Amino acid sequence: MRVLLWPLLFPGLLLFSNLALGHPGGVDRHGGHTDRSNGHYHCHREPCQSAQQQQQDALDEARQQGRAFSLLYDRRDWPHWRDEDGNCRDTRAEVLIQSSRVPVTYRDARQCVVDSGEWLDPYSGQLIYQAAELDIDHLVPLKHAHGHGGNNWPLRRREAFANDIDNLLPVSASLNRTKGSSSPDQWLPPDRSYWCEYGRRWQTVKQRYALMVTPPELAALNGLMQTCPRISSAP
C-alpha cells in the first residue's frame, strides 16, 4: 500500500486544528480545499497542484536515497552569519549579546567575538556561561525550511530566514545537534516548561514565511498548545 506523505497543509489554513475544517464547495485561494469526511487537503488547480507535485517529487527522491529531505538541500545556499550593521559582530554575536542575562565579555579587543555571559538554555532549563558551549539554533531548521517550501526562495529570502532573530535561540550545543532538522512531531525540548513557547514560536515562523505544515507536524503543534497556561475568564 502506498503511503501518501505529501498532503500540503498551507500555513494560513492549518496552524490550528479548528482551521482545518473542510469547505462545503469550491476551492480556496491556493487552489484546493479540505475534505470534511477525512480532513485531508486536496489540490484541484494552481498553484496548489504545482506545489503538491514538487513536494511529492522531493519526497520520492528522499525515499529512494534513504534520506529525510531532498538531496537538493545545501547549507551553503542559506548564507549566515552576516554582519548586517558592519560593526564586526555577526548574527551569532548579536543573539548572544541580546540574550545574555549579564553583560558579555569578548575574546578580542575589537569586541567582535563573544566569550562569556549568562544564558538560560530554554531547551534544558540550565544556565550556561561560556559562549563556546552554545549553538545558535534555527528553531525552524534551515533544512526543514528547504523541504517545506524554502527551496523555491531567492537567495535574499533564504539569507533573511537564516539570520532572522525571531527564529534564533542560544541553546546547548549538544541538544541543538540532537535536534538536527527535526520538526515538533520528531523532537521536542527536554524541558517541558518550554513546550508552549516552542510551539508558538514555531507556528509564528512558519506562518511568517508561508512554509508548509504536514499533518503529523500539525498534530504535534496542537498538542503543544495544550501545554499553554489556561487563562481563566473573569466571573
Q: What is the pLDDT of residue 34?
A: 62
CA angle (144, 168, 91) in 5-degree steps: 115
Average pLDDT of the segment spanning 190-216? 95
Of 67 and 117, which is predicted with more confidence? 117
140 pLDDT above the threshold of 80: yes
- How far apart CA 139 and CA 199 sit, in angstroms, is 10
Q: What is the pLDDT of residue 17?
A: 35
Reported as a single tens digit per residue, the pLDDT across 78-104 is 998 999 889 999 999 999 999 999 999
Bridge partners of residue 59, in order along the sequence: none
Q: What is the pLDDT of residue 159?
A: 95
Q: What is the pLDDT of residue 218?
A: 93
Rounded to the nearest angstrom, the gap between the alpha carbon of residue 211 and the centroid of all alpha carbons in its chain is: 9
Q: Are 55 and 215 in contact (CB under 8 A)?
A: no
Q: What is the pLDDT of residue 44?
A: 80
Q: What is the pLDDT of residue 16?
A: 35
Of 136 and 38, which is predicted with more confidence? 136
Which grid cell sits at 163? 539570520
Residue-wise DSSP of the chain: --------B-HHHHSSGGG----SSS--TTSEEE-TTT--EEE-STTHHHHHHHHHHHHHHHHHHT-SS-TT--GGGS-----TTSSS--HHHHHHHHH-SS--EESSTT--SEEEEEEE-TTT--EEEEGGGEEEEESS-HHHHHHTTGGGS-HHHHHHHHT-GGGEEEEEHHHHHHHTT--TTT---S-GGGHHHHHHHHHHHHHHTT--B-HHHHHHHHHHHTTSPP-PPP-
Q: Poorest-confidence range of 22-26, 113-117, 142-146?
A: 22-26
pLDDT band at 7 (very low <50, low <70, confident <90, very high): very low
The percent of residues above 70 in pLDDT, for the chain, comes to 73
Q: Are 60 and 52 in contact (CB under 8 A)?
A: no
Q: Poorest-confidence range of 36-40, 114-118, 184-188, 190-194?
A: 36-40
First and final C-alpha spacing in the chain: 54
Own/partner pairs, 110-118, CB within 8 angstroms, 24+ separation: 112/88
Average pLDDT of the segment spanning 107-121? 97
Q: What is the pLDDT of residue 112?
A: 96
Highest mean pLDDT, choosing among 15-29, 34-48, 81-95: 81-95
Q: Are 95 and 114 in contact (CB under 8 A)?
A: no
